[in-house]
Structure 1
Amino acid sequence: MDDIYDQFQKNKKSRRMYPTPDTSVPTQQTNHTEKRGQQSIAMIQSPHQLTEEISNCSIYEQLSDPLNNKKYDLSLMGTAPPIQDFQLPLPTPNIQSSASVTASAYSQCDPMFQRCTLNAIPNSNYLLKKSKLPLSILLEPYPRNQVENVEVPLITDGIINRCTQCKSFINPFIQFIDGGLKWQCNICGSDSNNVPPAYDWDYITQKRLDRWSRPELNYGCVDYAATPEFMSRPPQPPVYIFVIDTSLEAIQTGMIEVLAESLISSLDRIPNNQGRTRIGFITVNNAIGFYGLNNKEPELIMMSEIDDIYLPRSPTDLVVNLADSKIIVLDLLERLKSMFTMNAQTYTTTKNNNCLGPALKAARQLLSSTGGKIICFQASLPNMGVGSLHPSVVQKQHTAGEHLLLEPASDFYRSFSEECTKSHVCTDMFVFGSQNTDVATLNVLPRFTGGQTHYYPGFSSKNQGDREKLNLEIKKLVKEEIGLEAIIRTKCSPGIVCKSYHGNFSFQEPDILVLPNVPRDGSYCMDLAIERELRGEYAYVQTCMLFTTCFGERCIRVMTTCIPVTKRVTDVYYAVDQLCCVRSLAYQAIDKAVTFKVRDGKEYLIQKAVDICRAYSKEVIGVTPSKNTQLNISRSLSLLPAMILALIKSETFNDTGAVPVNMSNLSGILLRTLPTSLWTKYIYPNLYALHSMSVQAGTIDENERCIMPIKLNLSSERLERHGCYLIENGHRILIWIGREAVPKLCQDLLNVSKVNEVRSGQVPALPILKNPFSERVCRIIKNLRTDLRYSNHYPSLYVVKEDGDPMLGNWFMTHLLEDRQQILKSNSFNSSTQKSINVETSYFQWINYIKDRM
């Protein structure tokens, strides 16, 4: 113990901290941090700091080595979740070099595109059921920010070689036979595939070629330039129709002005390298406004007949080429800023009426010949024409946990999305306003057309934080280099089939996914089933996506993954991808909450956690679970219990009745659509101690990246009353100021003289002050907000003072997932008698609950 304490003192000397209120600071000292080596034992504020320092010692680092300790059993009892495992590299299947026809290091598809929950597949359904683990493929085929050393080569020579039997594409895991004249398919086993002569001979240059250098034999993920056989028409141009709510409620939010300003500054960012992009506008209240953009100035055509909507002009007059009509479009946007305001005489007496359904039908008519994207900004409840909704239905109260997640109130939007899919039309929804807004129903359109939903509860353009968030999210969306008119199909080795699919898409056939729009970082999941015993050494999964880039290129992306087959259940556990595994369980739980009840989804997660831990104890450790049994798990599943508890405590599965229905629905939407890099932190946020971060944190490294502070466990035991903490989940950033924060910290961070002057609430940004601490914190926040992994979402920023606004303080505490969370009318809790897991359950109580259920 003395050695550990000495190590603690050694580590602590390398850190700089804000002093506690009891620590004297020399008046002549200009730097708010203490000099190195001047900390004393009195600086230790809680025993938990000692635990934190011990976790950083070399002994612990040895245990966290994923290469040497993947078969290391971790005891869950009495220990905090090992959050450092979130930083481990993405696990990949361990295959021999002889599995591929070349010695390429890139023969396996990178897991950022396609990854499996199990990196060793059981050879039978019996073995899979025994493990209790899910077998699924997580797919992100069009990532926004490809990591370094991940190359997707483009094959442009027109040679696209496919299996004659199963139509899968040639890949690094085929075998050449008959002296290299034929190849055997690794997916179906067919040996009747001829090798194209162009693999070995260039008829144009009359020179021999090296077939082993071909990209499709060296890379597990390749792009083909599609040949005419893959195109039924010329590539679709990017076409954008903006449908804007101009009802009284929309005008009161001020969102129209922000939208116009955002588009004015973003027109040059819309992908339009070849000058093919087209754009149009529709405004909607109790009538539909079309805008002619082919004259010298915009022309408004109002259509009050909404029962049988038709286009008042030719589509070429209402949807114009952006490059040719940019001046007219800018003129219209400038007019929109002043047309629909509370000061505009025309709209001072406007009723809060909205005919969204007919407006959407009109927008689809404009896009029927080309396809494209409808971007809808809706602030009121549609109450006229087809698709109208009623507040009584939206506001109906549900018994906590007894309602369906994302339950739509109208069938119109589902049938309309089917029409959109046939025309290759995608819909994105920006939803504003109060609880009257029906997020569940409006999300049906993005759900089945490959779009996205953004929700802004209580939005007001007078709030600079709200204004900045909407402004930047619009800019991110319109400049996104999306994929268009896509289809996705996954093929597996004999004996493995895709049984269910999750994500935003529609079906063309039972196994073909249709996406009118492929958003960057779009995430999808396929659950697999083992129908018969797998006899080969390896199993293969190949996913193909045929799509058009926004630059007019028709491409085929082919992603092939090779996974070893095992007969031992222990190999299955040691090769599990736990993040992928938990996300697969989340998809399945969401499906149950959508089909049955929210509580059913929550209970499914609870049961799966218990089943997996029980199966591991029985099948790997060889111990029949009992009250005296220790709860151990493999290192590869170290975070599974913590992440499942985080899901149970999320707004999606919160069954206490404390979460508004719209917020619960939004959370379910995000769990279904976020890219995995953001999904992980959305359910399990990052907590940083700003007042005691290292001197390197917040600075730029040699790769021009911001160095982040050390992450802390999500427990109030980590909080000190004199401290300053930042917690973020990709959608919000909260800065917590302790009640005993020293004046120097308040001055350096917020430009106030003492903690009593700190104001809680949303802020667009922290003040930029001329001191190192402010510069480093602002750089950290900027990094969190501009990181490309954040997709189209921009995190809001809040300052939370301890003993300040009770609601903000409670909101901050709900992110501390390892703690018990208090709810209204909560009863006393005892882990030994607990019969249901909810937000009141701490991580340690959750572990005891699993042990008792086992």
Structure 2
Amino acid sequence: MADPTQGLPPGWAAEWSAENQRHFYIDQATGHTQWEHPGPAEPVFDAAGPAASGSPPPTTHHTKRRQYAAGQTQAYYGTTEPVMQQPGIPQFPPQMSGGQLFTPGEAAPVQAPVGGSPYYGQQQQQPEYINAPGYAQPVAPHGGLGYSGQPVDQLTNQFQQMGMGGQKQQLYTTNLLTSPPDPREILTGPPEINLPPGATLSQSPFVNAHPSYQRCTVNAFPSSSSLASKAKIPLAVVITPYKSIKEHEEPVPLVSDMVIARCRRCRMYMNPFVSFIDGGSRWRCPMCSLVNEVPQMFDWDQTNNQSLDRWQRAELNHGVVEFVAPAEYVVRPPQPLAYVFLIDVSHTAIQSGMVATATRTIMESLDRLPNQDGRTRVSIIGFDSALYFFSTPPGVEEPRMLVVSDVDDVFLPQPHDLFVNIVEARAVLESLLGRFNDMFKENHDLGSALGAALQAGFKLINNTGGKLIVLSASLPSTGPGALKNREDPKVFGTPKESQLLQAASPFYKTFAIECSKAQVSVDMFLSSPGYQDVATLAALPHYTSGQTFFYPAFNAARSEDAVKFAHEFGEVLAQPIMVETIIRVRASRGVRMSSFHGNFFLRSTDLLAMPTVPNDVSYTIELEVEETISQPYIIIQTGVLHTTCAGERRVRVVTTAIPTTSNLSEIYASVDQVAVATYFANKAVERAVMYKLEDARDLLHNKLVEILQAYKSSMTAAGAGASAQLAISENMKMLPLLILGLLKNVGIRQSAQIPSDLRAYAQVLLTSLPAEMLMPYIHPMFYSLHNMPAECGTIDEQGVIMPTPLPLTTERLERHGLYLIEDGQTIFLFVGRDAVPQLIIDVFDLPNYETLRGGKMTLPLLDNPFSQRVTAIVAKVREMRHGVYYPHLYVVKEDGEPPLRLWALSLLIQDRADVLPSYQQFIGQLKDKVNGNSY
């Protein structure tokens, strides 16, 4: 045998691969590996002349920052940046990382296309990993979104997403050390669901629920618990059963004939994955295989009194469908909707302008409140150290105020006339709301009997159910549920900090459970200028399926504060709500629901009780493989029984079918990194509240290391040995950055400077935001505006065209630039210190950078194209996602106030911040852990 080291260039070594029975070669200086003999050293030439042997290729990163010449006022309009269409799927072919793809029987690797980012400044090395024998044939791993380099039209992509054809997932491996993250990949859909042929009755592209309604962490489900344990990928399903519908979106199909076919044994609802037998008179349940009779009226249109083609039925063609429920689903007659507003009227609330803003918003939203049946009722209770009720007997023009000062033993001052019908008493209600702030403008009471107000509101609606909407501007200080200021900056950043994130009083959880039993939900709008104990008060929405909103240092004198509060409060009031709701998730035999996360009360082992369900709120349910699954695919079905605002009892059914596999590579190739990140956000918050924040950070870090170790040992040639690479599948390439974003999020971050209210509210968002909004919250979006293409900010058939998002690093900042950074909750306009005067004039209507002031602001509407484009982009950021949130806009100067600048730059999570590593450092730490097996 020839000496493998003969003729090697300096610094190269040869090692024997027992698995492949051949030598491979390593550049000891760079860690670069390859199978072929590198041959003798040769000089390398580039445009600048000869380079030393082994030198890296020339980089495209420029360290010198370009500046505008003096007097050049229009330069910021020019650009060569690519443009991305939004909303929807990005119209570009995502680039492959510099990984090699091996298929069985190949002697030489096929080099995947090399993606790159100029700020990393080096070409990618060839990693050593290969695919294990027996892998399926290659297909595009992301649902036809272009990883194979071929654009696919939208309908074809939908069919692939639903799995028409039964192709297997092909695993593409990438090296995280040399593959910079591309923020556009967050916007692509999850890997396709490749169901076996014949799995579905219909050829409709909508047979599986859209991921915005229901998505699983894997789209190829492990067939055994041992395989699931070996893969280390968490199994969970993320559900958003009620998504707000925008103008361009199709509503959920409604089946109004009251024929609901269900399996007699497992109670699964009819869906596109059933099979008809015996001439169509019976159907087999795909979840438990029981044969059921087809309902007698299944093929009859009762509305038009004629025969119906069953193949056109919505439940056989759509993964998300809503049934009008027959009488057996109705426990009691539909109750009128009831809203009780509990308004803090203490001196603090009046002075901040919260009361005036809230009452004005309620008045303006009276026509937007759900009231299809004309029965919606409203009651208003004010509170400081006492309670203020308003009686409106029939025929009176002005309401009468009744004061209850005994807050330790709450009672209603009279049993009737404390509610008004919006339609019948509109004039009286408007009169009360118009004078409400003036009634208390001289109030100097600083107390807050919030607990007593809650008890009084509960007494009003406990017979019918409804919503308690709390508007509080101070810490509850008297009566039941009184709290003390326990904020202690000395414990920030210490193990004791987690105590500040736990409820300080059992009153609120106990009261919340009583509310849940009576079909009462609670929404909290908190706006205290000081400490308000968000961690304790948020227990009310948590257990009653409500929502928490927090406005620190609210001051209505700032128009931006008033606009944000009024917008979000008004949108919550206008939301159609589903009342008296229960949710149950079912899965095929062998799959069990093991844990539940979200805002609800777990009534039994798997029944989620929700008095009302708001739109655009998500819930995460952990799954467990109990026994070996022999079926070719599993079904996960969410059934939501509810009453609409119009008093109609309905059942919303969300169905997803996922193929099963005994192949590790298919599991890894099918991982939905967005769903995995959503799961980890919920687990981290759970760990932080139950134990310590440090435990939550350790959980995130250790679980990620486990995944990388499992992938390395199973999917790469390095196996259990040390490797110069850090391997992961292409579809999980963004997962380490998403985990780093979680580690740097306010809710989890290691810091001794974060007030506990801000941290507690961040944790509320981490556990309730739908994936569409959670992703930017942990992985913000970063755009360059001064040199964006001319199309950006203009409108095409898909809406406002957005710039291409940039990597989250300050290396992309130029001193003359204008940038937008946003996380769905806050928008920053970052202005470089050398921004030309014309840019400042065009955007801010100010003569130069020196006259610009940082902080909250509203952009002026100016008559020039660049201002109109920037304004359109800001507006698009505020409305492009589903949800009620209206982000504040802050202007940040490069040399402006340090706290504001540091806050904005903290969103650039790829950079180092305090004790938190940069992305490259984080990847290096992961590599050391994966190789060292010591954590």
TM-score, normalization by structure 1: 0.89
Give distance in 2, aligned partners of 1:434 and 1:358: 22
Report the counterpart of residue 368 of structure 1 in structure 2: 462
1:784 match: secondary structure: helix
Which of 391, 397, 403 matches 1:302? 403
Shift of 1:351: 3.2
Higher helix share: 1
After TM superposition, the structure 1 stretch with the greater mean CA deviation from structure 2, 232-241 or 424-433, is 232-241
1:798 matched to which residue of 2? 890
- After superposition, the C-alpha distances for 1:433-476 in whole angstroms (9 at most, x for unaligned) are 23421100110100000111111111111222211111111111
Which of 909, 914, 917 aligns to 1:817? It is 909
2:415 to 305, 314, 318: 314
Segment of structure 1 superposing worse, 619-628 or 543-552: 619-628
Q: CA deviation at 1:51?
A: 5.0
Which whole-Å CA distance do the structure 2 matches of 1:731 and 1:643 have between them?
17
What is the match of residue 527 of structure 1? 622
| AA at the equivalent of 1:800 | V
Following the alignment from structure 1 to structure 2, what is the Cα–Cα distance between the partners of residues 544 and 308? 41
Instruction: Quickly say closer, same or farther: Cα 1:752–1:205, change in 2 above 3 A.
Output: closer
Counterpart secondary structure, 1:96: coil
Q: Give the distance between the partners of 1:36 and 1:455, measured in 2 at CA.
A: 40
Residue 183 of structure 1: how far off its partner (Å)? 1.3
* C-alpha contact 1:109 1:559 (8 A) present in aligned 2: yes
The aligned counterpart of 1:218 is 317
Structure 1 residue 631: deviation in Å? 0.7
CA displacement at 1:648 relative to structure 2: 0.4
Map Cα deviations across residues 290-333 of structure 1 (whole Å, 9 max, x no partner): 01133211211000112221111224x11111011111111111
* Cα separation, 2, equivalents of 1:147 and 1:569: 41
Q: Distance in 2 between matches of 1:206 and 1:549?
A: 26
Structure 1's 21 and 146: CA in aligned 2 closer, same or farther, altered over 3 A? closer
2:185 corresponds to 1:85: yes
Equivalent residues in 2 for 1:446-595 (5 A)? 446-595=541-690
TM-aligned CA distance change 1:762 to 1:393, over 3 Å: closer
1: distance between equivalents of 2:327 and 2:909? 53
Which amino acid in 2 is paired with 1:684?
H
Letter in 2 for 1:172: P
Q: How big is the shift at 1:25?
A: 3.0
Match of residue 171, structure 2, among 53, 65, 71: 71
- Contact 2:492–2:753 (Cα < 8 Å) also in 1: no
Return the letter of the residue paired with 2:806: L
Once the two structures are superposed, the pairs formed by residues 18-57 of structure 1 within 5 Å of their partners are 20-22=67-69, 25=72, 50-51=118-119
- What amino acid is aligned across from residue 624 of structure 2 in structure 1? A
Equivalence for 1:102: 202
Distance 1:182 1:800, change over 3 A: same
What CA distance in whole angstroms lies between the structure 2 residues aligned with 1:574 and 1:266?
48
Q: Deviations over 1:380-418 (max 9, x none)?
A: 111111101112477783553543273000000011001
Q: Distance in 2 between matches of 1:733 and 1:311?
A: 45
The residue type equivalent to 1:784 in the other structure is V
Which deviations, in whole Å up to 9, do the C-alpha atoms of 1:650-673 show, x marking residues without a partner?
Answer: 111112212111111111000011
Structure 2 CA distance for partners of 1:203 and 1:645, relative to 1, 3 Å: closer
Q: 1:95 to 1:318 in 2, by over 3 A?
A: same
Q: What is the SS of the residue equivalent to 1:219?
A: coil
* Residue from 918, 924, 928 that aligns with 1:848: 924
Equivalent residues of 1:358, 1:386 under 8 A apart: yes
**Structure 1: distance between partners of 2:196 and 2:141:** 26
Match of 1:285 in 2: 384
The answer for unaligned runs of 5 or more in structure 1 is: 4-10, 13-17, 38-47, 56-61, 823-838
Among the aligned pairs, what percent are the same residue? 37
Contact residue 435 and residue 662 of structure 1 kept, 8 A: no
Report the Cα distance in structure 2 between the residues aligned to 1:439 and 1:718, rounded to whole angstroms.
Answer: 36
Matches within 5 A, 1:81-480: 81-145=181-245, 150-191=250-291, 193-200=292-299, 208-294=307-393, 295-315=396-416, 317-341=417-441, 344=442, 347=443, 350-392=444-486, 397-404=491-498, 406-480=501-575
The reply to whether residue 767 of structure 1 matches residue 860 of structure 2 is yes
Alignment partner, residue 652 of structure 1: 747
* Whole-angstrom CA distance in 1 between matches of 2:472 and 2:491: 23
Q: Structure 1's 204 and 491: CA in aligned 2 closer, same or farther, altered over 3 A?
A: closer
Deviations 1:516-568 (CA, angstroms, capped at 9, x unpaired): 11110110011000011001111111110011122222110011111100001
Return closer, same or farther for 1:566/1:204 CA change in 2, 3 Å cut-off: closer
2:867 matches 1:781: no
Looking at structure 1, the residues matched to 332 and 553 of structure 2 have their Cα atoms a distance apart, in angstroms, of: 44
8 Å contact kept, 1:521–1:675: yes
1:327-353 superposed Cα distances (whole Å, 9 cap, x missing partner): 111111111132233xx3xx2xx2311
Partner of 1:741: 835
Task: Letter of the 1:115 partner, please give it.
Answer: R
Residues 616 and 303 of structure 1: is their aligned pair in 2 closer, same or farther, counting only changes over 3 Å? same
Alpha-carbon distance between aligned partners in 2 of 1:145 and 1:204, rounded to the nearest angstrom: 26
SS at match of 2:790: coil
- Give yes or no for contact 2:449–2:476 (8 Å, CA) kept in 1: yes
Counterpart residue type for residue 303 of structure 1: V
Q: 2:692, 2:400 → 1: CA distance? A: 49
Deviations along 1:585-633, one digit per CA (max 9) or x if unpaired, are 1111211112111111110000011111111111112422554430121
One-letter amino acid of the counterpart of residue 520, structure 2: V
Provide the C-alpha distance between the structure 1 equivalents of 2:79 and 2:687, rounded to a whole number of angstroms. 55
- Give the direction of change, closer, same or farther, for the CA distance of 1:147–1:205 in structure 2 (3 Å limit): closer
The 2-side partners of 1:265 and 1:813 are apart by 38
In structure 2, give the amino acid aligned to 1:169: Y
Taking the aligned partners of 1:381 and 1:24, their CA distance within structure 2 comes to: 55
Partner of 1:828: none
**For residues 736-795 of structure 1, what are the alpha-carbon distances to aligned partners after superposition, in whole Å with 9 as ceiling and x for unaligned?**
1111111111111111111111101111x1111111111110111111223352x12110
Please identify, of 88-97 and 256-265, the stretch whose mean Cα deviation from structure 2 is larger. 88-97
- Aligned-residue Cα RMSD (Å) equals 2.5
Taking structure 1 as reference, are residues 36 and 738 closer, same or farther at Cα in structure 2, changes over 3 Å only? closer
**Code of the aligned partner of 1:336:** F
Separation (CA, whole Å) in 2 of partners of 1:604 and 1:551: 45
- AA at the equivalent of 1:156: S
1:43 corresponding residue in structure 2: none
The letter for the 1-side match of 2:255 is I
> Contact 1:627–1:852 (CA<8 Å) still a contact in 2?
no
Aligned residue type for 1:20: Q
The superposition leaves residues 695-714 of structure 1 with CA deviations (integer Å, 9 ceiling, x where unpaired) of: 001001123x1111110011
Structure-2 change in CA distance of 1:621 and 1:53 (3 Å): closer
Please say if residues 282 and 294 of structure 2, whose CA atoms lie closer than 8 Å, have aligned partners that are also in contact: yes
Q: Which ranges of structure 2 fall in alignment gaps of 5 or more residues?
A: 1-44, 48-59, 81-115, 124-139, 150-169, 931-935
For residues 485-520 of structure 1, give each alpha carbon's deviation from its aligned partner in whole angstroms, at most 9, with x where no partner exists. 110001111110000000000022110001111110
Distance across 2 between alignment mates of 1:212 and 1:762: 56
Count of residues in Structure 1 that have an aligned counterpart in Structure 2: 795
Deviation at 1:254, TM superposition (A): 1.6
Distance (Å, rounded) in 1 between the aligned partners of 2:656 and 2:518: 33
- Is 1:725 paired with 2:819? yes
Q: Flag the 1:620–1:146 CA change in 2: closer, same or farther, 3 A.
A: farther
Distance 1:500 1:523 in 2: 15
Distance in 1 (CA, whole Å) between partners of 2:413 and 2:489 is 37
- Residue type of the partner of 2:891? V
Q: 1:612 aligns with which of 688, 694, 707?
A: 707
